[in-house]
Structure 1
Amino acid sequence: MTATTASSRRAALPARSILVPFCIILAVVLAGLVIRATPAIGTWDLAVIRAIESARTPFLDAVALADGVLFSPVAALVIVGAISAGLWLRRGPGAAIPFAALGLLPWLGSSVVKDIVQRPRPLSAGLPHHLLTDTGYSFPSGHTSLAVALGLALLLTFGAGRLRTPLIVFAVAAPLVTAFSRVYLGVHNPTDVLASLVYATAAVLLVDALLRLVRRWWSSRAVG
């Protein structure tokens, strides 16, 4: 491999790392528009929610409601803010700011996707046993997006040592539990939370790639 070829390949990697997650996010948005315009999908979603509701237990009620609080917007700001503050004190802003960006930007982006797709919440009239009634648009799930973003942010920031295995478990389990709980509570459709898992993962990868580009630019500027 020539030096020119190796240099070209290294230069192409950042572009690909940005383009691929961006295209995935765009595909999720387009899928949301198709889902909103397809009544049959809404009918299927409602049937799945009813089936999940039929398996309700006090334990699952408690888990779902607790999860809803843990990954709520207020809790998100508190958790990410506390961890970012600790990172700032121990490692400086170079670690704190990227963690905050990874944890919050994908979640904030989910609100933008919601405003584009504008899919209504599941109809409460069709869910007589739902536990919560939420407002706003439904696609994708902000709670699920936050769970994905927080789990991956923790893994990317602290996952190089002994914490790697438990952080991988958390990064997988937290989004899945949250996705289930949002459907279980009757505030999101199954397709909403499935889309959230895909969207938020791509959004974290996109933010991470952009952060790496910023670091590379900053390093080259400092050297220059």
Structure 2
Amino acid sequence: MTATTPRRTSTPQAAAGPHREGAATARAIVLPLTVILLVILAGLAIAASPAVTAWDLGVIRAIEGARTPFLDAVTLTDSVLFSPVAALTIVGLISAATWIARRRLGPALAFAALALLPWLGSTVVKDIVRRPRPLSADLPHHVLTDTGFSFPSGHTSFAVALALALLIVFGHGRLRRPLIAFAILAPLVTAFSRVYLGVHNPTDVLVSLVYATAAVLLVLGVLRAIAPALERFPLIGPGLDPRDRREPRSAR
């Protein structure tokens, strides 16, 4: 009799593993992308609705009635902190500090992508929807005048993206609770400030909260999908996937 080597057969569970992972990755990309497309459709409908515009104007006027020097200072400061120049500066400094501290480019790239791409995407949505900003003539007590289109709010989108990027990449250990608080407060304060200053409609900022959250999740899904391929490059190294918490080898 001759001995036969048993054949190795893959179990259904082992075969289903890659399939489930691929399905989860697809959902992580398709679902937020669907939300963004719905946001665009909602923006087009809102921009074409005189009733919504009239409601927005009434809310802005009511908020104008609550003006105080303190709120003026807070909202104007917020407007500067989340402006395009400040956004690029903040993301650049944090990304550089992350690269230096962790000695890996991956986490720095992940943070920059999560913070900037949703914000840049908001400008694309603005060009599609093309909703005008509130008219200064309708708001005699407005604090600020801005140009460009109104839907969605770029400031609010960046506040959401920055806060979630910080939470995703750095939100573990002692930093988790303060970053959760920042992720809640910063977008809400920015959304209020844009309406208070008279440069955005309430519906602009409310939908911006939804859009930017979905955009961050979309970027995160794409990062996790391409991370295994990109991490083969020595320059990037481990850590492009924000779930990776490993320390550099030199620190082990």
Both structures adopt the same fold (TM-score exceeding 0.5): yes
- The C-alpha deviation readout for 1:200-223, integer Å capped at 9, x for no partner, is 00000000111111112335899x
Matched residue count: 222
Residue 19 of structure 1 and its aligned partner are, at CA, apart by: 0.2
1:213 aligns with 2:217: no
1:42 aligns with 2:83: no
Q: TM-score, normalised by structure 2?
A: 0.85
- The C-alpha deviation readout for 1:64-117, integer Å capped at 9, x for no partner, is 000000100011011100000111112221111111111111000000000000
CA pair 15-220 structure 1, distance change in 2 beyond 3 A: farther
Secondary structure of residue in 2 paired with 1:201: helix
| Structure 1 CA distance for aligned equivalents of residues 79 and 15 of structure 2 | 52
2:116 corresponds in structure 1 to 104
What is the aligned counterpart of 1:77 among 88, 100, 117?
88
| Structure 2 CA distance for aligned equivalents of residues 220 and 62 of structure 1 | 48
What is the aligned counterpart of 1:57 among 40, 64, 68?
68
| Structure 1 CA distance for aligned equivalents of residues 198 and 231 of structure 2 | 48
- The C-alpha deviation readout for 1:122-143, integer Å capped at 9, x for no partner, is 0111100000110000000000
| Structure 2 CA distance for aligned equivalents of residues 167 and 161 of structure 1 | 11
> For residue 162 of structure 1, what is the amino acid of its counterpart?
R
Bigger CA drift: 96-105 or 139-148? 96-105
| Structure 2 CA distance for aligned equivalents of residues 135 and 7 of structure 1 | 49
What is the aligned counterpart of 1:175 among 187, 190, 195?
187
Query: How much identity, in percent, do the aligned residues show?
Result: 68
Matches within 5 A, 1:139-218: 139-218=151-230
Residue 29 of structure 1 and its aligned partner are, at CA, apart by: 0.4
Larger relative helix fraction = 1
Runs of 4+, deviation exceeding 2 Å: 1-7, 216-222
- The C-alpha deviation readout for 1:142-165, integer Å capped at 9, x for no partner, is 000000000001001110111000
Secondary structure of residue in 2 paired with 1:163: helix
CA pair 221-7 structure 1, distance change in 2 beyond 3 A: farther
> For residue 66 of structure 1, what is the amino acid of its counterpart?
T
1:19 corresponds in structure 2 to 30
2:241 corresponds in structure 1 to none
| Structure 1 CA distance for aligned equivalents of residues 13 and 93 of structure 2 | 48
Residue ranges of structure 1 left out of the alignment (5+ in a row): none
> For residue 35 of structure 1, what is the amino acid of its counterpart?
I
> For residue 23 of structure 2, what is the amino acid of its counterpart?
A
1:125 aligns with 2:128: no
| Structure 2 CA distance for aligned equivalents of residues 77 and 220 of structure 1 | 28
| Structure 1 CA distance for aligned equivalents of residues 114 and 24 of structure 2 | 20
| Structure 1 CA distance for aligned equivalents of residues 91 and 85 of structure 2 | 10
